Every structure is written in C-alpha cells, then in structure tokens.
A and B are shown apart, each in its own frame.
Chain A
Amino acid sequence: MASVSFHDIEKSFGSTKVIHGISFDIQDGEFMVLVGPSGCGKSTLLRMLAGLEEITSGTISIDGRPVNDVDSKDRDIAMVFQSYALYPHMTVRDNMGFSLRLRKADRKEIDSRVARAAKILNLDPYLERFPRELSGGQRQRVAMGRAIVRDPKVFLFDEPLSNLDAKLRVQMRSEIKALHQRLKTTTVYVTHDQIEAMTMADRIVVMHDGVIEQIGTPLELYDRPNNLFVAQFIGSPAMNIVEGTLRRTNGMAHVETPDGVRWPLGGGAGADGQAVTYGVRPDHLELGGNKDRGVPGEIIVVEPTGSETELVVRIGDAQMVVETHGRPTLQPGDKVTFAVDPANVHLFDRTSGARLAS
C-alpha cells in the first residue's frame, strides 16, 4: 500500500500540450477516480503513473519516492487495461502467474498466490482455460486477477468496464468496489463514465482539457460543483441550466431569464444585473409549488421507469428534465407548477463559469 502524488505534471506530444500542470495527492488505500470527457488527459495521466508514457515535466511519487526515471516493472504497480490485454496463448493460470514467473518466484509460491487470487475472484473453475474460451466478464476478472497476484502498491484501472455490456458493467462495478474494500490497496481508476466515478470513488478528480476542474468526494461534487463544467458533467440526468440576469430587490433575489421566468434564489453572492447561469438538478424541481413562488411549466413527455418518473417539461423557452418519485398522473400538455428550494440551486458566473458562492 502506498500514497501517490502528482506534482506540477505537464505532458506534451510533440508541440501539443495535453496536460497543463496538474498536482494532487492520493492517500494510502484510497480509491481515486479520474473522470472526464475523452481527450481530457486522464488516461495519459494514468499511463505516466504506470511508466508507459514519459513525463514532460513535474514529478510523480509513489510512497514519497519520485518514480519519473523508474521503469514500469520497478514501480510496483499493476494495471488493468480496457482491452484486458490477456496473453492469448497462455491459460488463465499462466496469465495470472506471468509476472511472478518473470520475477523468478518459485513454482509453489506462484501456485498458491494464483490460487488465492482465483478464489477471491471466483475463477477456480477456469484456471486451465484460455482467454478465448472466456466471456467478457470472466476475462475482465482474469485481468484483475493478474493484478491482484502481484500484491502491488497501487492498482491502475484504465476504463476497465468499457467493453462490457450494461448489465455486466454494473455487476463488475460493485465487484471492483468490494475487492477494494477487501484489499484496501491504493487504486487509481480512469473512466469517462460519471456514474462509475460517483458509485466507486472515495474521491473524484474531474478533468477537462488537461486541467483539473475539481477534486472531491462524489457527493461534494454533486452538491457543490465548483464550476459549470463539473455541474453539467456530474449527475445523471444532467443538471438543468438556464442563462439569465441576477436581480436583487429589497433583500430578495431571483434570476430572470429573457423569456420572463423568475427563478428563485437565496441570499448569497453576485451583484444585481450580473449575467449568470442558473442550474437546478432534475430531482430538485418539485411538482406542485404554489403559484406565487413556483415556476410554471408544461409537460412534454412522461417517462415512467417504475420507481421513478422522468418528465421532460418546458419552462419558459427552456426544456428541462424533472425527476419525481412515484407515479404522478400527468399527460403531455398539462400545465404544472414546480417548486424550487433556493438552497438547492446552483449559480455560476456566465463568463467564467465559476460558482458564485451561495
């Protein structure tokens, strides 16, 4: 087990700079997820930690020891690839034992460690099979087994679930999380899927265009996104956003959109007349507000999922998604009013996208 620290990391491919000075620390035993849209540099960052990519400038340390010039094999890390990267000509047993074999561990040691890992991952019946004889989920588990056998300081996962179907992805998600809770090995996990990030992470690093947008626990990011990017990236369905102007009158504040809708606001920051972006999450728009304080809308689509009902509604000129529990009896075309608790809204400066403290 170990801590990992990135200090002022930059990375360029030729003249293209893809990572612009990133610094953060990962605690011993932490499950850290790097998330962001494709091309944000998250995989590159992971590959630099793995030693598969040169570090242009800055320092990466594992357990306080800089590893910039240390070979991959001497960094004591194990990596699970998106494509699994199992050796096709070796059995599951040989795949899992390969790293130990290269380290000249003795046969008995290899066997017992492979057996232990296989037991943890329920791979016992498949040890003599070849990767081509396994399903996607089993291959994924073998890839994890190969990592576990090493008992490394840090686990690296590079979008490990992207090649699985939706159902299996959910299952493997909890398996990986359970595995981490059991082994408590420091883990760095890269994904573009914010749900994976939210459900698995102790802390999340949200990246965008080679910089960090925000670091925090899943709920911190959900409740208090630092900027518009994080607000829109985290959460599903995504946060509803409207652009408007901040109005302050007699100690009361609201945001007025060009179509005339007044969105309620608590006290907080921002000056009268400031151009702002107003955000409210789908589950914070509640049906049945009173006419004075609520915002009026019209139902466009009703999508029941059983326990919840998702509504697509028009409020002013904006189309928004509303998530309600239960099964409201609503038809497209119905006029309804939504209540918004000012404590649950998010306000961002329109030009910088930064959160206006509220």
Chain B
Amino acid sequence: MKNVLTEAKLLLIGIPVAIWTLLPIYNLFLFSISTKDDAFAGKLWPDHPTLRNFEIVFREQHHFLGKFWRQLGNSVLIAVAVGVITLLVATTAAFAISRLRARGGRLVLNCALFTYFIPAAFLAVPMYKAMSAYGLLNNQWALILAMITIASPYAIWVLKQASDKLPWELDEAARIDGASPLQLFWLVYLPLMGPSLVAVGIYALLLAWNEYLYAFLLLSKEDDLTLAVALGQFLSADDSPWELLMTTGLLYALPPAAIYYVFKRYMQAGLTAGAVKQ
C-alpha cells in the first residue's frame, strides 16, 4: 500500500515535469514536419506532414542556410577540440595536484573554485580584448581557447576530486614496481580515471557545442560561424522562416542527445563518483 502511494506521488510529480520538458521538444518536432502555413495553425498534428524542411536544410536551399554543412562542421570541430584539449589540461593538472602533490596545488584549486563566482558573460568583453591582443579575432582558435578557459576550472576540480578517490597504495606499488611519473600517468592513472574522463570530456564538448555568446562575439566570418550563431541569424529577418529554424534546431539538438545516450553509463558513474563512500 505504501509503495502504491509512493508511486502515485512520484507520478504526480513526474508527469507534469515530463510534459513541461517534452512540450517544447514536441513543438520543435511539430514545426519541422509542417509547412509554413500548418506550423502556425496551432494544431497538435499537421494536416500535411512533410519532410520538405529537412530537404531544404540538407540541400542548403535557403539563404540563411547557405553554409549549413560547413557551420555544422565548425560546431563539431570546435566542440571536439574543446573537449579534447580541456581533458588534456584538466587531467594533467589533476594528476599533478592530486597524485604528484605538486607545490601550489591548493592555490590552483582555490583559484579554479573562485572562477565560479564570475559569470562567463562578465568576461566576454575582456576575453574579446584579449583575443584581439593575441591577433586571434576571426579565428576559430579564439573560440576554442575561450571555451577551454571557461571549462577547465570545473574540469580540474571534478577530476581532482575523482583522483583523490584512487587508492594511494596503487601509486606506491607502481613506484616500487619501477614506474616513472609519466608511466604512472599513462599506465595506471588514466585507465582508472576512465568514467570521470568521459564525463568531463563530454561536459566540455557540450559546453562548447551549446555556446552562443562567445561564438557570436569572437567569430564573424560566415565560413567560421558555428551552427548556434547561424541559428541566431534567422531572427534578424522580419519574416523568419520558423519551420526551417526549428528543423535546424532539431538537427542541432540531436548530437548531444546521441552522446548522452551512448555514454549514459559512464556519465552516471563519473558524475556521481565520490558522491558517496563506496
């Protein structure tokens, strides 16, 4: 009886939350299979469902979509680069702080924590100036470096916490076995950090994938833009092609969903690692 009651309560909360979450996505989907006229008719299912919108997007048959594939490629390239480089920075930092007990490690960690207090939007203009000083404006590296800067502190923090959970004896055993710090890193540390690395890598990758403000500020050539910025441009016209915007949006949302699905197992293991004593 008690179970039924608990179940009912959960459903009572779960159903509204599910509707709340899924409704916009359904709307996105609805627009993407509707003609322009159908889209605004306010129906729950279009009279004439069509895949024509997808065809337009894939064939770049609208002037807002002139560089769809190129911009999608940019998004992928930048997201992957940010994910990989952030991982590289964060794992080596976490390893040095947590396992090699590098001097000044605490300071680095405290600084990393401190950066949370500053909203990324605050730093947008200083970052723009900095990139301009480096001569990187209109270069995709500007966005990549900026995103790494924003993602790294959290990534270092999380990986440091995860590193601390590895038994210290493993390092000692490896040292006695004759491992140099670099061998320890490659042969013992990295393999054991797997789940956390996946979680943190995906975090950085999606942060970059979803970024709008910095991409908008730091990139301006149409060939360099990410899809997020390109989507924003749809709204610059008075008569926006909403059905195409929504179609592109749906396509844009698919890779993150796929990534979450594939790495679901690792994500859970990684993000909750250290939450409870095992």
Contacts and interface: CB of A to CB of B under 8 A. Distances in A.
Contact of B176 (A73, A82, A83, A86): A73
A222 interface: no
A102 B172 contact: no
Contacts of A87: 170, 173-174, 188
Interface of B: 167, 169-170, 172-179, 183, 187-188, 191-192
Given A83-B169, A87-B188, A98 B177 contact: yes
A356 to B, nearest CB: 44
Contacts of A51: 175-176
B192 A85 contact: no
Question: Considering residues A98, A103, A150, which has the most beta carbons from chain B within 10 angstroms of its beta carbon?
Answer: A98
A103 B176 contact: no
B175 A72 contact: yes
Given A85-B169, A87-B170, A52 B175 contact: yes
Interface string A58-100: 0000000000000011000111011101111100000000110
A72 B176 contact: yes
B176 A79 contact: yes
B235 to A, nearest CB: 50
A50 interface: yes
A78 B174 CA distance: 11
Contacts of A203: none
A117 to B, nearest CB: 14
A81 B167 CA distance: 11
10 contacts: A72-B175, A73-B178, A78-B176, A82-B169, A85-B173, A87-B170, A87-B174, A102-B178, A103-B178, A146-B173
Interface of A: 50-52, 72-73, 77-79, 81-83, 85-89, 98-99, 102-103, 146, 150
Residues of B contacting A: mostly: helix
A81 B179 contact: no
B188 to A, nearest CB: 6
Contacts of B191: 89
A78 B177 CA distance: 7
Nearest to A74: B178
B167 A83 contact: yes
Contacts of B192: 88-89
Contacts of B167: 83, 85
Nearest to A143: B173
B178 A77 contact: no
A150 B173 CA distance: 13
A81 to B, nearest CB: 5
Contact of B177 (A52, A89, A99): A99
Given A52-B172, A81-B169, A82-B169, 17 more contacts: A72-B175, A73-B177, A73-B179, A79-B172, A79-B176, A83-B167, A85-B167, A87-B174, A87-B188, A89-B191, A98-B177, A99-B176, A99-B177, A102-B179, A103-B178, A146-B173, A146-B177
B170 A85 contact: yes
B173 A102 contact: no
Contacts of B187: 98
Contacts of A88: 192
Contacts of B177: 73, 98-99, 102, 146, 150
Contacts of A50: 172, 176
